[in-house]
Amino acid sequence: MDNSEKVDCCKHGLMDYALVCQHLVNQSTDHHPIEYFDADDENEPGRSEVGNVWCKSCDDMLLSQGDWNEVAAAFAAPKIVCVACLKEIKARNINGKL
């Protein structure tokens, strides 16, 4: 684990980061909860190349593409968020379970 990779979050300060699909990151605060999928949840620790957490639309894209190929990755366009922000994102959505 490389702990030198941190993000300077405007809300939480210097934190570990996670990669989260753009749809979850760009949610407005009054959105409807959506399902998310967490690569670190039950599988081996470690990140997929596209990030730790993605939403249902990304998962549908992933299934239709069969892999995190360029198309699926471009659709997810994962953003770096701090782990505290990720917790908030998870708290306002539904764990879809892989």
Residue numbers at the binding site for Zn ion (CB under 5 A): 9, 11-12, 21, 23, 54-55, 58, 82, 84-85
Q: Which residue lies nearer to Zn ion by CB, 30 or 72?
A: 72
Min separation Cβ 9 and Zn ion, Å: 3
- Between 39 and 55, whose beta carbon lies closer to Zn ion? 55
Instruction: Output the smallest distance, CB 48 to Zn ion, in A.
Output: 13
Closest distance of CB 95 from Zn ion, Å: 14
Q: Report CA-CA distances (Å) from 5 to 1, 2, 67, 77, 83.
A: 10, 6, 26, 19, 12
CB within 8 Å of 35: residues ≥ 6 apart: 55, 56, 59, 93, 94, 95, 96
